[in-house]
Structures are given as C-alpha cells and as structure tokens.
Amino acid sequence: MRWEFNGNRGEVLLYFGVYLIYLIYGLCVLIGSRQRILNVAKFEFSTGWPIFKSHRDDTNDELENFTQYISTNWHWYIVHVCLNTIIRKRYAHLQPVAHAMTCGFILMKTMHLASITTFMLLLSSFYTASKNESKKLIWFLSATWMAAIHLIKNSEYFYTLGYTEYFTLIQLLSWTVLRGCSFSLQRIKTSKSCAKEELQNLYSLKNFLGYTLYFPCLIYGPFMGYQRYNRIRPERNQRNDWKLLIWELLRALAWWFLLQTASHYLYLHYMARDLMAVKAVDTVFGLHAIGYFMGQFFFLFYIVTYGLGIAFARYDGFHPPNKPRCIGRIHFYSDMWKCFDEGLYEFLFTHIYADLCEKHSPVLQKLFATASTFSFVFVWHGCHVFVLIWSILNFVCLVGEKIFKYLISCPSYENFVYSKLKLKANGVQRLNAALATQVFIPAAFSNVFFISGQDVGEYLIKGAYTNGWWNYTMLTFCSYCFFQCSQVLLQIK
C-alpha cells in the first residue's frame, strides 16, 4: 500500500492552514490563561527577566537543574575540549584515557565521596560482570542497580548532599546502567566473531572507563551505545571542526533562550504539576493545546540537552545519535521511538527486542518482545504509576499501528477500496490517513502522562473523548491535518 501524499496545492495549503490556525489559537488561549494560573498557583513564580516584564515559570526541575549545572560546570567542557584536541592530534590511542581522567577529576571536584563511591561501585560491578560474558548476569546486575537507584531516590542521606547533587547522581547512575549494559552485551556479541586478543583490546578497562566516563554525555545524554563510541572517524580539518562545534553550541543556546522566553508567557511547566492550573484553561480545544505544547516544550528541552552532548561528541570524532525529531513532524508513533531518542531506541531494539524475536518470528513472540521492551522502559524510568500508564498506552498504540498497517496491506482491503469504493490512489491515501488518525490521537495524548503525571494525563485524555461528538469530530479533523502535514514534510525530506 502506497503512502505517498499527492494532493494538489490547495489541499496542502488547507492542511498547513489548519495547523497554523490551531497553533495560533492554542498560543492565544494559553497566554491568556496566565493570570488565572497565577491566581490558583500554590506558590509564586520567579520575577523573570526584566525585559519581558512577566513572571517566569521556573517549576521544571530538569530545566532548572540543567541550567544550574551548565552555569557551574561550563569551564569543564572547555577543559575537556582543549585536552581532547591535543590528545587526538598527537596520541589518538590515549583518547579513552584522557576521557576517563578528565571526567574522574571533574567528579572528584564537584561531588561528595558517597556519590563517587556509589558510582565507582556501579562501574566496577559492570566491568567485572562483562568478563563473565553472561547475558543473564548482566541483566540481573542491571535490575539490581535499577532497584538500588530507586532506593537512592528515596534516601534522605543522599538528599542532604544537596538537591543538585542528588538529582545529578540519579541521572548519572541511570545513564551508566545503560552504558554498562551496552558495553557488556556488545562484548558478548563481538566475542562470537572476534579473536580473543582483539576482543581484549576492544573491551579493555581503558576503553570501558573512557566510554562510561565520557563527560559531554555523562549526565544529560544522549545515550551513545558502545558500538558508536568505538567508531572514531579519521582525522579531519580541525578548523572546520571548531566551526561546527561553535555553530552547534550556538544553536543549543538559541533553543535554550527560546525555551526560557516561552516560559515567561506559557506556564506549561507548572500545568504539568498542578491539575488546578490545567482547569484554569476554560475551552476544550485549549486543553488539547496544552497537550500539544507540553510535548513541544519537552522536545525543546531535549534538543538543548542532547544537542550539547551531540555537538561535543561530533567534535571528538564520534558518531552520536541524531537529535530528536520535532513531535510536530511525527505521525506514526513507531517513529517517535525511532526518531525522538535514537540512542535509547538502538539500545532497546538491539539488546532487548531483537534478542527476543526476529523479523519472521510468530506474532505472539513479537508481542512478547515488545512487552518486554516496554517493561524495561517502565523499570528504568522509575516504576511510577504514570510511567506504567504511559508504557501500556505506548504498547497498545504500537500494536494498534501494526494491526492497522497489516490490514491496509491486505489484498482484500485493497480490492475493497479500489473496486468497491472506486477510490483512486489519492482517495485511498486520504482514507488511510483518516483511519490512522484514530491511532495517532491516543498515542499523542499518552505522552502527557509521561510529561505531567497521572492526574493531568487522565484529565486531558478524558477531555478528548468525553466532551461530545462535535469536539471529537473537530479534534479528529485537526489531527488528520497534522497527520497529512507530517506526511508532506517527510516526503520533502
């Protein structure tokens, strides 16, 4: 079944016109709700930047901690770049050593002994286990450390070290579990086709520490599998590398500035924490806009944080994952996993899904592999109820998408739409898009659970399905236009 969109210019203008009107309307509603949100807020917002003459929504802990982390540690990024530039040019084989030593020194200067000790225990346990070359042991160790991270989250002792260090430690341990897994599981795969001496060189202690202690991606990602770290590009034109690094850093700064500017006018961070603030929006379509712009704020945050790590990784000669794709350009939810967090998707697909099933495996086996993948996602993100709901909705929507794609590829369906309904190719594409929209809507709202939690997620998804047939018809029409816009943009690319 062909998915290409071949509509005329007027049809394309209609779709993008609806999309633009929806965005403008949503922005107007959310900006107009600021004072009502301030009235119901449980505490005062910060005064904001004087140039905007408005309160700033400073309730996103991740964004605030990232900003503080960069303002405190920016000089360490410069140290990393300078040292790595010298090492890469003259002693390329010592690059992992430089990464490990630089990061180790930074951690000793910025974290307490208890945090460093915990981190070193995690590192040593994974490196020791990797030599055993047992998948069961690696997954048992991963489960043990994820349980330990959950205990640390609820530990008063680590909280007394300061909220910034507490938050940083949780991030550090969580990412390092994935890195330890990736290193160990990749070693097991490589051992089947690699000589023992070469295997020891590829998976030496030097490389393990260089990979797990790579500072630019250490705390805020993105996740870079060991197979990416182990593939260093040959020496390039260093002047062009510097230009690219500076350009990418300026882009990340520009997106951060946009996010900070928007937080003076759109109080979405606080809405994610307080249902009463969501209820301050008094139109049904305004509620839909909350879900959309929450997703966009979430996307911008990761464009900034991942963009920073990707910029340095590319400068250092690695092949990091691509930046997240804008959620406004994703119309099939399977693409959300593939294109939003490419590094995490590669890990999940390579080490969980593909290990449990193959391309031609039975359907039930594939369903089991998918469920196992989302079970890991649930546990890794912290075993919260809202994460469980998000994981289940993700699973259901992905299964629904697979069923939909299977049905429209059946000869009986093609015979029905072409012979019985007498549709042409464009008409079939429109019908398919209209049907796919019914999977797209719950998939889009599922993200709200992950971003804002159970109460807000339930309220917004109920608003989509329980506010009458006219509301749902209009929501479906707008979502259909979004779907077609994404299809057009995908073909242009």
Buried b (16+ CB within 10 A) or exposed e, 387-411: bbbbbebbbebbbbbbebbeebeee
| Side chain identity, residue 286 | G
- Tell me whether residue 269 is one of the annotated catalytic residues: no
Q: State how far the Cα of 196 lies from the Cα of 199, in Å rounded to an integer.
A: 5
Q: What is the CA radius of gyration of the chain?
A: 24
Read out DSSP for 44-79?
PPB---GGGTS-B----HHHHHHHHHHHHHHHHHHH
d(CA 312, CA 73): 15
Answer whether 440's CB lies under 8 Å from 448's CB: no
- Separation of alpha carbons 421 and 407, rounded Å: 16
DSSP one-letter code for 217: G
Contact criterion met (CB below 8 Å) for 332 and 436: yes
Q: Residue 222: is the preceding peptide bond cis (ω within 30°)?
A: yes
Q: Taking a C-beta distance cutoff of 8 angstroms, is the pair 27, 284 a contact?
A: no
Class of residue 418 by CB neighbours under 10 A (exposed 0-12, middle 13-18, buried 19+): middle
The tokens for 206 are 């030097």
> Catalytic: which of 112, 150, 319, 381?
381
Distances (CA, A) of 223 to 167, 176, 316, 390: 18, 9, 16, 21
Question: Read out DSSP for 146-176?
Answer: HHHHHHHHT-HHHHHT-HHHHHHHHHHHHHH
Which of the residues are catalytic? 381
